[in-house]
Amino acid sequence: MVLMADSALKTKTTRSLFWSFVDKFGQQILNFASMLVLMNIVAPEAYGLIGSLAVFTAFSTILIDSGFGRALLNRKEISATDYSSVFYFNAGLSVFLYLILFFLAPFIAGLFNAPALVPVSRVIFLALVFNAAGSIHYTILTKKANFREITKINMWALLIADIVAIAMGLMGHGVWALVAQMVLFAFFRTMLLWFSTSWKPITEFSLPRLKSFFGFSYKLMLCSMISTTVNNIYPSLIAVFYPMNHVAFFNQAKKYQEIPFLTLSNTFRSVAMLILSEINDQTERLKRVVRKLVKTIAFLSFPVGLMMILVAEPLFYLFFQEKWLASVPYFQVLTLAGMLLPFTFIFNELFIAKERSAFFLGLEVVKGGVLILLIVLLFPKGIMGLAASWVVYMVITLILSIIFSGKVIHYSLSEFVKDTFPYLFMAVISAAVSCFSTRYVTNNLLFVLVNPVLIALLYIALCKLFKLEMTKEIDEWFASRKKSEKIPNNTKKK
């Protein structure tokens, strides 16, 4: 029975991972394509304006959700009243916060000494209301593991928003092209979510039902607020002390290095929050699943990160021209931190799945304290000092997450090193050989094309040579796919 359960879980995980990856990767590809065009026609200062508002948008989103979305996912029995109560709470709070932010717009603009932020912020914050209106529909699709439908919705909404943004950029609308991209994505995504699910709110609101979620959800909300502060403190600090183009250089470097790692993180996070919640009372199975996820992330994250560092300068020169080359050093340093990001997401999901929200909150408080100390120590070193502090922070964060996870599933730091180091070592060797082999290549396009291919081939060859677990998993997956494809054909012949 255990083997059958593990097999079913593996099938569900694989299917969910596939569609979740298609969703996240597809979004990143569309984002990359649109930014490729927009960054060449929109000034860096426009990106600086948008980046300075990120912290307000992020905090408002957390307050609107209040952790209820994740609480709904974690609870096995959900009634129509539960869904409707959370929906009305989210929608009402989103309108209330929008009105507050609308009237605070002049203050926000004064904080960053950017009068243009007044009309820009008032339009951008509309996305909060649109997102709140579709939050329950998204939760329902996620709870059903219907990542295929979510993928289609996100792709269509993003495609429409990107086309409009590029058209506006080409017409010379500058920052408003970026504003339209954000607001239209939220609007069309919510509209498509409503069309794709049969759920509609009933005329019933239950405060006691809402309170039944709050003991779990408010701790998640506090965790998210700390995490959001951490993730947005750098752009805000830079915006206060440096010109807007410096904000743009740092923000775009951070955004681009996050593309592969957030794709990995969100892919595995979407699946982990379902799978880990399903087996949250089985410690041994939890540990096996977590270790498998850790190895898979290591297999993908390390070679991709080192490849990005290697091709960073010619890549920026080719795609974004000389005006964005100041982003390259930040991009390379931040990529070192990015490689560790997906691991921390998995451990966060583990703590939530085990309903250790107080445990999770304590960890976030410790991490926040560590970051403040690092900023105090390294902020005098300038923006590059801040970038370096983020790398140190991510290393400390990962170590703390592993130590805390040991108290939940008995997963030790030495086991983590054993699970990940072989993949890191193979990635370093592959990148070093590739770098040495292409040291005389002066053509930027050729350098960008050759290095990823060379690193990938060397890396896979080394992993196969030393028989690392993930290459065996991939071989088994392809073998099972071939076997399943042959079965219908054989049946037909009979």
% of residues, the chain, pLDDT over 70: 88
Q: Return the HEC string of the chain.
A: CHHHHHHHHHHHHHHHHHHHHHHHHHHHHHHHHHHHHHCCCCCHHHHHHHHHCHHHHHHHHHHHHCCHHHHHHHCCCCCHHHHHHHHHHHHHHHHHHHHHHHHHHHHHHHHCCCCCHHHHHHHHCHHHHHHHHCHHHHHHHHHCCCHHHHHHHHHHHHHHHHHHHHHHHHCCCCHHHHHHHHHHHHHHHHHHHHHHCCCCCCCCCCHHHHHHHHHHHHHHHHHHHHHHHHHHHHHHHHHHHCCHHHHHHHHHHHHHHHHHHHHHHHHHHHHHHHHHHHCCCCHHHHHHHHHHHHHHHHHHHHHHHHHHHHHHHHHHHHHHCHHHHHHHHHHHHHHHHHCCHHHHHHHHHHHHHCCCHHHHHHHHHHHHHHHHHHHHHHHHHCHHHHHHHHHHHHHHHHHHHHHHHHHHHCCCHHHHHHHHHHHHHHHHHHHHHHHHHCCCCCCHHHHHHHHHHHHHHHHHHHHHHCCCHHHHHHHHHHHHHHHHHHHHHHHHHC
Given a cut of 50, whether residue 325 has pLDDT beyond it is: yes
Mean pLDDT of 322-345: 89
The candidate with the shortest Cα–Cα distance to 370, out of 396, 391, 336, 388, is: 396
More confident residue, 389 or 218: 389
Mean pLDDT of 138-145: 81
Which pLDDT value is given to residue 71?
73
Computed over every residue of the chain, the mean pLDDT equals: 82
Given a cut of 90, whether residue 477 has pLDDT beyond it is: no
More confident residue, 298 or 221: 298
Which pLDDT value is given to residue 381?
83
Given a cut of 80, whether residue 126 has pLDDT beyond it is: yes
CA distance 88 to 429: 54
Q: Please, which pLDDT band fits residue 81 given cuts at 50, 70 and 90?
A: confident
Q: Which two tokens stand for residue 414?
A: 């030495």
Q: Please, which pLDDT band fits residue 16 given cuts at 50, 70 and 90?
A: low
357-400 pLDDT per residue, tens: 677 778 888 888 888 888 888 888 888 888 898 999 999 999 99
Q: Which of 2-16, 77-91, 191-205 has the lowest mean pLDDT?
A: 2-16
User: For the purposes of burial, counting CB atoms within 10 Å of the CB of 488, is it exposed (0-12), middle (13-18) or buried (19 or more)?
Assistant: exposed
176-205 pLDDT per residue, tens: 999 999 999 999 999 999 998 888 888 888
The candidate with the shortest Cα–Cα distance to 51, out of 121, 110, 119, 3, is: 121
Given a cut of 70, whether residue 4 has pLDDT beyond it is: no
Q: Is 200 left (phi over 0), alpha (psi -120 to 50) or beta?
A: beta
Inter-residue contact 230 to 344 (CB < 8 Å): no
Q: Please, which pLDDT band fits residue 214 given cuts at 50, 70 and 90?
A: confident
- Listed by start position, the domains of the chain span 1-20+244-484, 41-241
Q: Is the pTM of this model over 0.75?
A: no
Q: Please, which pLDDT band fits residue 415 given cuts at 50, 70 and 90?
A: very high
Which pLDDT value is given to residue 494?
45
More confident residue, 412 or 245: 412
List phi, psi (to 5°) of 286. Answer: -60, -45
Which pLDDT value is given to residue 450?
93
Q: Which of 19-23, 185-189, 252-256 has the lowest mean pLDDT?
A: 19-23
CA distance 420 to 395: 14
